[in-house]
């Protein structure tokens, strides 16, 4: 029988369906929309067809009260997912819609330490989205423009609201779009690196979450951070849901 992992984030919902052997049968990502729980149930489909439904993410408690059989935090889910995909993984960098975190694992893939960003949106996917709007570019093009530029511009504001007006005034002052885009990427990359350094970077580092799914961005980060072997899953947004489903399989095994 199959197991469903479901990651209910603040911006997106991801589901992963695994068979007993841990093979991914289906994976899907969608916007959370105005009522994430309802959306989650829709995406899950026929709940009775799963042996277990494990929820993670911001909405895990709601899902547990509603339809899920178990819950784990996104910290544990990302650790399980990342070390399943890359068994040697010792550090996870996860940048989601509204928070970012760094998780340290031991050789067995167990969480030994973690750190999360503070309450504000700086350094998260939300920050990137707002800056891209300010630049008038889709996310992908923003990364391409940044990569093609030689820089020369820095953002001074950490706060999302101030950074957006800084972007707008830099453009108004005639700075090239590419240079400003580069400043934006550097700003979020430096934040991520700060988190990594605070916990200590133990390679290999696996980069997960929605921000890692933006084409070109992981390469940009790896270069800027001097981490040439930054590992990125094919579908970084699915890692949390995958981890949740893997947890379900573990529990199944334990309960026979």
Complex with another protein: residue 117 or 149, whichever CB lies closer: 117
Q: Cβ(66)–Cβ(60) under 8 Å?
A: no
Report the residue from 7, 74, 94, 164 that binds another protein according to the rule CB under 8 A. Answer: 74
How far is Cα 193 from Cα 198, in angstroms, rounded to an integer? 8
Q: How many chain residues are in contact with another protein, going by CB under 8 A?
A: 16
**Order of strands, edge to edge, in the sheet holding 70-71?**
24-31, 12-18, 2-8, 50-56, 70-71
Looking from the CA of 215 toward its CB, the CA atoms found within 13 Å total 5
Complex with another protein: residue 118 or 150, whichever CB lies closer: 118
Compute the least distance from the CB of residue 32 to another protein, in Å.
14
Q: Is 129 in the site for another protein (CB under 8 A)?
A: no
Compute the least distance from the CB of residue 231 to another protein, in Å.
22
Name residues contacting another protein, limited to 94-113 (CB under 8 A): 99, 110-113
Q: Is 72 in the site for another protein (CB under 8 A)?
A: yes
- Which alpha helices (DSSP H) does the chain contain, by range? 36-44, 60-66, 74-85, 125-135, 139-148, 160-172, 177-199, 217-225, 239-255
Compute the least distance from the CB of residue 162 to another protein, in Å.
17
Q: Is 76 in the site for another protein (CB under 8 A)?
A: yes
How far is Cα 15 from Cα 6, in angstroms, rounded to an integer? 4
Q: Is 75 in the site for another protein (CB under 8 A)?
A: yes
Q: Is 194 in the site for another protein (CB under 8 A)?
A: no
Residue with tokens 């605070």: 198
Complex with another protein: residue 40 or 132, whichever CB lies closer: 40
Q: Cβ(12)–Cβ(28) under 8 Å?
A: no
Compute the least distance from the CB of residue 38 to another protein, in Å.
19
Compute the least distance from the CB of residue 54 to another protein, in Å.
13
Name residues contacting another protein, limited to 3-62 (CB under 8 A): 58, 61
Complex with another protein: residue 136 or 200, whichever CB lies closer: 200
Let me know if 244 is exposed, middle or buried by CB neighbors in 10 A (0-12, 13-18, 19+): buried
Complex with another protein: residue 111 or 168, whichever CB lies closer: 111
How far is Cα 81 from Cα 105, in angstroms, rounded to an integer? 12
């Amino acid at each position: 029988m199959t197991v469903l992992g479901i990651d209910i984030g603040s911006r997106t919902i991801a589901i992963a369906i695994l068979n007993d052997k841990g093979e991914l049968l289906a994976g899907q990502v969608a916007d959370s929309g105005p009522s994430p729980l309802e959306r989650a149930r829709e995406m899950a489909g026929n709940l009775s067809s799963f042996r277990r439904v494990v929820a993670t993410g911001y909405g895990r408690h709601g899902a547990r009260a509603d339809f899920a059989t178990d819950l784990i935090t996104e910290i544990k889910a990302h650790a399980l997912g990342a070390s399943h995909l890359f068994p040697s993984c010792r550090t996870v960098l996860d940048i989601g819609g509204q928070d970012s975190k760094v998780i340290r694992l031991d050789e067995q893939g167990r969480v030994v330490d973690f750190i999360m960003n503070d309450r504000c949106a700086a350094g998260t996917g939300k920050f990137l989205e707002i800056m891209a709007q300010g630049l008038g570019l889709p996310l992908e093009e923003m990364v391409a423009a940044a990569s093609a530029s030689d820089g020369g511009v820095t953002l001074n504001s950490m706060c999302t609201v101030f950074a957006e007006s800084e972007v707008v005034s830099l453009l108004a002052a005639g700075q090239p779009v590419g240079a400003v885009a580069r400043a934006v990427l550097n700003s979020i990359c430096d934040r991520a690196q700060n988190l990594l350094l605070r916990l200590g970077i133990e390679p290999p580092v696996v980069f997960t979450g929605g921000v890692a799914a933006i084409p070109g961005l992981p390469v940009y980060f790896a270069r800027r951070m001097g981490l040439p072997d930054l590992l990125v899953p094919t579908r970084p947004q699915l890692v949390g849901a995958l981890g949740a489903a893997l947890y379900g399989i573990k529990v199944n095994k334990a309960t026979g």
